[in-house]
Structure 1
Amino acid sequence: MIYLQLFYEFFKAGLFAVGGGLATLPFLYDISDATGWFTHAQLADMVAISESTPGPIGINMSTYVGYTTGGIPGAVIATLGLITPSIIVILIVAGFLRAFKDNRYVKAAFYGLRPASTGLITAACWSLVVISLLRLDAFSSGGLLAVLNWKALLLAAVLLALTRIGKLKNLHPAAFLALSAVVGVVFRFGGA
């Protein structure tokens, strides 16, 4: 019975939580209040853990709740409950798109979406650049040179150069991420 309830609760969350993993939070609070499977404090811990582990936040949290409630089968069932609505919607949309793939209006719509998606990706990249390479809060007190995060800029330049050198350019991106993590810890990039 617990497995059926896990599937049902997370199916509802997956069906109505539109907008990403954090959109599942109100549903998780509701699940907490309705079932008592976890407290609100534990939910805050789940968010912190889900943010720091790979994968979508909603899936990580559903897996965690399922595991704590029903072990490994509970983790699998809760995760399946969360993703099933998305799979159903994708299959329906794919069916419609297959029927209209040669329609000139559909082709034009997808062609028109290319610049929009490029703009969204560019905006996300710009946000990351501002967060990691600039210190805008230092502008008022230190001028233009204080705005630049020199350590981060130097690391970015070194990594860019390493990705262009001989055999190093064939390394997996995870190697460069690991190198960046080590450099960040050794040189205290976190500001502490």
Structure 2
Amino acid sequence: MIFVSLFITFFEIGLFGFGGGYGMLSLIQHETVEAHHWLSTSEFTDIVAISQMTPGPIGINSATYCGYTAIHNAGYGHLVSILGSATATFALVLPSLILMILISKMFMKYMNTSLVQSIFTGLRPAVVGLLAAATLLLCNTENFSTPIENPWQFGISCALFVATAFGTGYLKINPIRMICYAAFAGLLLLY
């Protein structure tokens, strides 16, 4: 039964997850942590971190890891959990595959019409909102600690957040370099 729920949940996320993988993160978090209680907030935060570090789209990576963890947390073994990974990943990708096949020819024909342009004009702010929600979702105690609980870690985390945003946004430093710099700083300052 959990496989059917997993498939339906990730199919819906794939169907309504506009804005790519980062836009899907808030939907994935809501469904897996809050609605179905398949994962804890800490597990989801770890999954997002792993999904960012591994090659491939973050939405698909997150679905793969969430599927595995959900089945594993339900008490199944590792081999069955791999089937959970495959189920969640396939369900997330399936709506995009179907929609792209159906609309690819129509889009090329109608993409310059005012109706289609109006639809995209309405979707753009929604995508930005989903990306902002994903950012705010990750600004939690698992990633930053709190000033009361661990002021040193909180200060270092906030400084790394600001430095990374400034470095990639203003100084145009390669994001991969910034990730390496932040990992090195975290190793030096928080270990």
TM tier, shorter chain? 0.5 to 0.7
Q: What is the aligned partner in structure 2 of residue 83 from structure 1?
A: 93
Q: Which has the higher contact order (CA 8 A, sep 6+)?
A: 2
Residue-by-residue CA offset, 1:23-78 (whole Å, 9 max, x unaligned)? 11221222111111101111111111111000111111111111122311111110
Instruction: Provide the C-alpha distance between the structure 2 equivalents of 1:80 and 1:67, rounded to a whole number of angstroms.
Output: 13
Q: What is the aligned partner in structure 2 of residue 116 from structure 1?
A: none
1:11 lines up with 2:21 in the alignment: no
Instruction: Provide the C-alpha distance between the structure 1 equivalents of 2:44 and 2:67, rounded to a whole number of angstroms.
Output: 13
Alignment match of 1:131 (pick from 173, 180, 184): 173
- The residue type paired with residue 78 of structure 1 is A
Q: CA deviation at 1:190?
A: 5.2
- The residue type paired with residue 61 of structure 1 is S
Q: CA deviation at 1:97?
A: 4.8
Instruction: Provide the C-alpha distance between the structure 2 equivalents of 1:30 and 1:66, rounded to a whole number of angstroms.
Output: 14
Q: What is the aligned partner in structure 2 of residue 65 from structure 1?
A: 66
Does the residue aligned with 2:15 lie in a helix, a strand or coil?
helix
Instruction: Provide the C-alpha distance between the structure 2 equivalents of 1:55 and 1:93, rounded to a whole number of angstroms.
Output: 24
Q: Percent identity?
A: 36
Q: What is the aligned partner in structure 2 of residue 30 from structure 1?
A: 30
Tell me how many residue pairs correspond in the alignment.
Answer: 118
- The residue type paired with residue 62 of structure 2 is M
- The residue type paired with residue 34 of structure 2 is D
Instruction: Provide the C-alpha distance between the structure 2 equivalents of 1:11 and 1:45, rounded to a whole number of angstroms.
Output: 22
Q: CA deviation at 1:20?
A: 1.5
Q: What is the aligned partner in structure 2 of residue 161 from structure 1?
A: none
Who wins on radius of gyration, i.e. which is larger? 1
Instruction: Provide the C-alpha distance between the structure 2 equivalents of 1:55 and 1:75, rounded to a whole number of angstroms.
Output: 15
Q: What is the aligned partner in structure 2 of residue 158 from structure 1?
A: none
Instruction: Provide the C-alpha distance between the structure 2 equivalents of 1:60 and 1:79, rounded to a whole number of angstroms.
Output: 8
Q: What is the aligned partner in structure 2 of residue 159 from structure 1?
A: none
- The residue type paired with residue 172 of structure 2 is V
In terms of mean alpha carbon deviation, does 68-77 or 56-65 score higher? 68-77
Does the residue aligned with 2:26 lie in a helix, a strand or coil?
helix
Q: What is the aligned partner in structure 2 of residue 95 from structure 1?
A: 105
Does the residue aligned with 2:172 lie in a helix, a strand or coil?
helix
Q: What is the aligned partner in structure 2 of residue 39 from structure 1?
A: 40
Q: CA deviation at 1:127?
A: 5.9
Q: What is the aligned partner in structure 2 of residue 51 from structure 1?
A: 52
Alignment match of 1:74 (pick from 84, 102, 120): 84
Q: CA deviation at 1:95?
A: 3.4
Residue-by-residue CA offset, 1:116-169 (whole Å, 9 max, x unaligned)? xxxxxxxxxx9697214xxxxxxxxxxxxxxxxxxxxxxxxxxxxxxxxxxxxx
Instruction: Provide the C-alpha distance between the structure 2 equivalents of 1:131 and 1:41, rounded to a whole number of angstroms.
Output: 29
Does the residue aligned with 1:37 lie in a helix, a strand or coil?
coil
Instruction: Provide the C-alpha distance between the structure 2 equivalents of 1:93 and 1:129, rounded to a whole number of angstroms.
Output: 39
Does the residue aligned with 1:36 lie in a helix, a strand or coil?
coil
Measured on the aligned residues, the alpha-carbon RMSD in Å equals 3.1
